[in-house]
Chain A
Amino acid sequence: MKVSKIKFNEEASRRIYEDYLKRVARSIKSLPKKDQNEVLLEFNSHIYEGLQHNDKVNEIDRLLDVLERLGSPEKTLKPLVADKKLEQATRTFNPLHVVKALALNVGNGISYIIFFMLYLMLFGFIFLIYSEITDPKSTGLFFNGNDFQALGKINPEYLIESTTHEILGNWFIPAMLLSIIVFYFLITILLRVKRKVRSL
């Protein structure tokens, strides 16, 4: 269904209306096309009905009344965009959507901040792959005898003096890649569970 524009008698009303719709469209740009259209249709319908159910004589007064009640699109639409983005992120597993959804939902509770930190840790693994390529001697999974010592970068001089040694060797990059994948799916699945249990 296409959005049919409301017709106005006064040019000033039309301009205010067009400007408002533009702001709505801008606020929902990050959503899938179908959702964008749905929101625009619903706002348009709401504005139209608001105009019809107002007794004021001047068209522009009626328009301003309904827009004022709707509030600024950026603010009014924030919770809806945050919800829809989260739906999309947990459906598609697309990292970009996940990051955006998390950023939008950070204000909605401490758990999203934890998710965000978990996500940051993912980038830690990515950094280690880079580090393994540029500085293979000091990067790795280090054990001292049978005890885990470190995952990451270690001072090479320390390695010479101590009995600490790297255990993964050439398997380091594949292991990090696997960690990234496992971590990523875990976060997204947790996010999905979290969204399901969130009360209405």
Chain B
Amino acid sequence: MNKTFVEKWKSQVKKGTLTFIALNVLKDNELYGYEFIEKIKKKTEIEIAEGTFYPLMNRLAKEKLVVANWVEQESGIPRKYYTLTEMGENTLEEMQTYWEDLSQSIKKII
């Protein structure tokens, strides 16, 4: 078995599905950066680097799929909470449909 090939493939799959994973984790939630990264890790066992996470959020916000709001905290250090927009929810639904179709097709061949 070609181990490095499989490892490379795995990281490509992760990279390709990261947006889908992030949007799914954010569904019905309101999360701030640190909590968001921890939640992705807990739910999917995928360690997403901060250097990947923040640019991703920046792009999702630019595409109007998520919005971010600064919320003051008692500690004096505000949190930036991310939520899905309506467009984000619709986009996620479309992605989910595609994902279902894709996994059905893959199941047929494996």
Name A's B-contacting residues (CB within 8 A).
1, 4, 6, 41-42, 44-46, 48-50, 53, 69-71, 75-80, 83-84, 87, 200
Contact = CB atoms under 8 A, between A and B. Distances in A.
Contact of A78 (B32, B51, B63): B51
Contacts of A71: 49-51
Given A200-B59, A200-B63, A45 B51 contact: no
Contact of B78 (A1, A70, A84): A1
Contacts of B56: 200
Contact of A83 (B55, B77, B80): B55
A53 B38 contact: yes
A128 B80 CA distance: 52
Contacts, number: 60
Prevailing SS type, chain B contact patch: helix
Given A46-B33, A49-B32, A49-B35, A79 B77 contact: no
B70 A1 contact: yes
B34 A44 contact: no
Nearest to A76: B51
B34 A46 contact: yes
A45 B38 CA distance: 14
The 5 residue pairs across chains A and B that have the minimum distance between CB atoms: A49-B34, A76-B51, A48-B77, A79-B55, A80-B55
18 contacts: A41-B78, A41-B80, A42-B33, A42-B54, A45-B33, A45-B77, A45-B78, A46-B33, A48-B75, A48-B77, A49-B79, A50-B34, A69-B50, A76-B49, A79-B52, A83-B55, A83-B58, A87-B62
A84 B55 CA distance: 9
Nearest to B79: A45
A50 B37 CA distance: 11
